[in-house]
Structure 1
């Protein structure tokens, strides 16, 4: 186990991504949130093929806080069914894992 957990989700706007990311870092559920470049998603919703711009966010937290982070993202998210995915981390730099743990513990 690496000591770091990654959680990925998508938002419908940069403003929503920034608002939620800032709140989760302030709440100490995430040590860091990387708001990535806007991309295009293609998916079926309610029987209709959709295409929309979305903003991906990658949150870094500890394994012990991962589930709480995912639950809080779901509470704050404006999508009916947000994609909230925990990504496996096989290994992390020890000094970075320590920093993540310190940020969450503050």
Structure 2
């Protein structure tokens, strides 16, 4: 990842309480500047059958420098047997926002 050094990461959990707990942990530990929570509906194949379930999506704003720690924290607390956690670089962004994310994550 390159550019601004900022990343957006995404994962999902099944319950609002799980999403809130994970979001608070990431922000309190300085691993994320912000985590947005959104109720969604997911359709996926699991163990040979198509499933449809409500989930909570977490959009995590952080930095490349904190990625390894963020990944470890999410995977350690994630309730799923096979959690999806993906991240992508944010090559552009307004300077005050970038500065804020870096300040909040100590990056």
TM-score by length of 1: 0.93
Instruction: Report how many residues are paired.
Output: 105
Which residue number corresponds to residue 28 of structure 2?
A: 26
Which residue number corresponds to residue 39 of structure 1?
A: 40
Cα distance in 2 for partners of 1:92, 1:55 equals 25
Cα distance in 2 for partners of 1:26, 1:39 equals 25
CA RMSD of aligned residues (A): 1.3
Which structure dedicates a bigger proportion of its chain to strand? 2
Displacement over 6 Å in runs of 4+: none
**Unmatched 5+ residue regions in structure 1?**
none
Task: Say which SS state the counterpart of residue 82 (structure 2) adopts.
Answer: coil
**Unmatched 5+ residue regions in structure 2?**
none
Verify the 8 A CA contact 1:7 1:70 in the aligned structure 2. Answer: no
Cα distance in 2 for partners of 1:102, 1:9 equals 23
